[in-house]
Amino acid sequence: MRDTYQVEYRRKTKTGEWKWILAYGKVVARDEAGAPLRMLGTIADIHERKQNEQQLAYLATHDELTGLASRALLYDRLEQSLYYARRSGRILAVLLLDLDRFKVINDSLGHEFGDNLLKAVALRLQQVIREGDTAARFGGDEFVILLAEVADPDDVGMLAGRILRCLEPPHLIDGKEVTVSASLGISLFPRDSDDDATLIRNADIAMYRAKREGGGSFSFFSPEMNQRAMETLETENALRQALDRSEFLLHYQPKVELATGRMIGCEALVRWLHPQRGMVPPNEFIPLAEETGLIVPLGNWVLTEACRQVRAWQDERLPIVSVAVNLSARQFRAGKLPWLVANVLLATGLDPCWLELEMTESLVMDNPERAIALMRELKDIGVRLSMDDFGTGYSSLASLSRFPIDYLKIDRSFVTDIVTNPHSATIAASIIDIAHRMQLQVIAEGVEAEAQLGYLRKHGCDQIQGYFFSRPLAANDFAALLRKNTPYVIPSHGTMARTLLLVDDERNILRALKRLLAEEDYRIVTAGNACEGLELLARESIQVVISDQRMPDMSGTEFLRLVKALHPDTVRIILSGFVDLETVTKAVNEGEVYKVLTKPWDDGQLRKIIRDSFRVYEQSAIVRRTGLP
């Protein structure tokens, strides 16, 4: 017979709340038959304990920060799903998602901000996945989504697209808007593997493929990708021996002063000449070197070799140029950088003023106070400092003013579409303006086309680097360029004469307009489509633009909307035989179009409106120059 009793139950209180209660009792008297006659006991409120137990049970299976399934719960559900998928013959999918550039956000805006962003991402993932699927936080900024039942692999691709799109709208975190993209890898059962660990590993491999291709996309796993992973392992092993075997060399890309066309500097870029594979692209070994820590000895070698080479050119009495060397995050954090730089300069005999050290915006924002102290030590040595990839990170103007730098370098991502993308063009022009106000010089990298150069020149960029002038050259080829000592020819961007751009896809219309305006004192340039027009606007000083409305690549109003964004000082006119009244009226009201004329035109009226347009431009120029209305 039991002498003690214990029971847990819930009781509703007067306020309507349910509370957990523990009742404990002990028999103190029995009758002749042994039945309890009297009991003594206690009643205790165990509600808080129960809540703690439930919380512990929840935390054992869920991520504390995001509330998503934990890694343990994910593997448990994946194992169950694989069991049912084998029985039903259905497809199962594992999607591994990693946020792009999350470290930059986390380091720039703080870990609390980063945590809040992860919670916001988790919420969106829960909203987009299907009922019955599992979303888990795998660790850091990695998430795994398990699709337990898939009818067709194409369905997985569609869901992956929806997941990436759901992350695109800006997140409002702590009063700041931040946009984040992700790279997503997909592996399928049974095609890619039939066990849980391998499915996740294969999804991870696929995710890194998507990230290498620029991020913001998804990729399926394939056997070829597995082979690439093995090749990466082989590359890492070879990389560890490459320094000892003297397989690295430097190429030098010229930096050209836009005002004179003179080559005034170069950037030292490391190359790997593998004995079997030949020249290995930097994007295949630099990230690997960063990840493994080999970037520190490699970076030290680059610094030493670049200084040695420039000093050797000086000893040959070649024209003197500075050399820029990139610093890695690991080098910067090592703590002995000023000592290393001073010793390399002493050993090579190079004057510090000919050495420029480049560091990325994200690198200095990792720990701004420490970065400023380190940069001041480097400035005391006498070297010059450049902030690379500016515009891609999260530094503010206030923090920028604290860094003792000499140059800002516009990232190539803004230069690539500077002629056609108002966003990139505005950022580039703003960087130039900000830098000059802070007495800094601006270098634009990745310049490959005359139109890009023209736009940058018109906005006052100081130095240009890119394939438009020269690819990176081996040391001997660069020395030959120094010996020639011939300035580059900088294409003219036109005179201050009244310049008129005519854009029409019908050549006979362009010829007729040129004949009509032949006696006017205009410099006339023509384009057969909108893209040609944008390139001319980037290269030339143009005041008035006349465009047809119906063109194959984009309409006249769409073209002039871009022109307004990229070249807001121009006066813009539509000349067309077909006019969508609503569209054109909207363009006029929004200031994108100054006048609308129809074909066939009245010669006298057209001449007058063009004259008026130049007067409008010139009057506006006076206002901009003097500030007087």
pLDDT digits (tens, 9 = 90+) for 112-150: 999 999 999 999 999 988 888 999 999 889 999 999 888
Neighbours of 283 (CB within 10 A): 9
**Alpha-carbon distances of 503 from 155, 491, 518, 551, rounded to whole Å:** 45, 22, 17, 9
Residue 242 has pLDDT above 70, yes or no: yes
Higher pLDDT among residues 29 and 276, named by residue: 276
Average pLDDT of the segment spanning 212-233: 72
- CA 159, 165, 166, 170: dihedral to nearest 10 degrees? 170
Neighbours of 212 (CB within 10 A): 14
**Alpha-carbon distances of 319 from 439, 466, 473, 483, rounded to whole Å:** 26, 21, 16, 7
pLDDT on residue 592: 85
pLDDT on residue 267: 96
pLDDT on residue 90: 86
pLDDT on residue 134: 92
Residue 312 has pLDDT above 60, yes or no: yes
pLDDT on residue 97: 96
pLDDT digits (tens, 9 = 90+) for 82-113: 988 888 888 899 999 999 989 888 888 888 99
pLDDT on residue 20: 77
One DSSP character per residue, 66-125 reads: T-SBPHHHHHHHHHHHHHHHHHHT-EEEEEEEEETTHHHHHHHH-HHHHHHHHHHHHHHH
Amino acid at position 145, single letter: I
pLDDT on residue 550: 87
One DSSP character per residue, 317-339 reads: TPPP-EEEEEPPHHHHHTS-HHH
Cβ–Cβ < 8 Å for 479, 313: yes
pTM: 0.62
Supply φ then ψ for residue 373, to 5 degrees.
Answer: -60, -45
Residue 257 has pLDDT above 60, yes or no: yes
User: Average pLDDT over the chain, rounded to whole?
Assistant: 86
pLDDT on residue 26: 85
Average pLDDT of the segment spanning 596-606: 88
Cβ neighbours of residue 354 under 8 Å, at least 6 residues apart? 310, 314, 320, 321, 322, 323
pLDDT on residue 405: 92
Hey, do 247-484 and 499-626 end up sharing a CATH topology, with the first three levels equal? Answer: no
**Which CATH superfamily is 247-484 part of?**
EAL domain (3.20.20.450)
> CB pairs under 8 A, 24+ apart, for 515-520?
516/603, 516/606, 516/607, 517/607, 517/610, 520/607, 520/610, 520/611
CATH T-level fold of 4-53? Complement Module; domain 1 (2.10.70)
Residues paired with 186 in a beta bridge: 95, 220
**Residue carrying the six token digits 């799109």:** 165
Residue 196: which of 48, 128, 96 has the closest Cα?
Answer: 96
Structure tokens at 524: 């006339």
CATH number of 499-626: 3.40.50.2300
**Alpha-carbon distances of 389 from 24, 109, 162, 265, 445, rounded to whole Å:** 70, 18, 31, 18, 9
pLDDT on residue 29: 79
Let me know if 137 is exposed, middle or buried by CB neighbors in 10 A (0-12, 13-18, 19+).
buried
CA angle 279, 314, 245 (to 5 degrees): 30
pLDDT digits (tens, 9 = 90+) for 328-369: 888 887 768 999 999 999 999 999 999 999 998 777 877 788
Percent of the chain having pLDDT more than 90? 40
- How does residue 604 score in pLDDT terms, banded at 50, 70 and 90? confident
CATH T-level fold of 62-221? Alpha-Beta Plaits (3.30.70)
pLDDT on residue 58: 59
Residue 145: which of 205, 194, 192, 77 has the closest Cα?
Answer: 77
pLDDT on residue 176: 86
**Residue carrying the six token digits 């063109």:** 551
Neighbours of 153 (CB within 10 A): 13
Supply φ then ψ for residue 174, to 5 degrees.
Answer: 50, 40
Average pLDDT of the segment spanning 54-60: 62
Higher pLDDT among residues 592 and 199, named by residue: 199
Percent of the chain having pLDDT more than 70? 93
pLDDT digits (tens, 9 = 90+) for 375-403: 999 999 999 999 887 766 555 556 677 88
Residue 53 has pLDDT above 70, yes or no: no
pLDDT digits (tens, 9 = 90+) for 160-192: 888 998 998 889 988 888 889 999 999 999 888
Residue 531 has pLDDT above 70, yes or no: yes
Structure tokens at 565: 């964004």
- Least confident range of 63-77, 358-372, 458-472, 508-522: 358-372
Structure tokens at 134: 């599992």
Cβ neighbours of residue 68 under 8 Å, at least 6 residues apart? 62, 122, 125, 126, 135, 136, 137, 143
Domain segments of the chain: what residues?
Answer: 4-53, 62-221, 247-484, 499-626
pLDDT on residue 55: 62
- Report CA torsion sign: 198, 203, 206, 207: negative
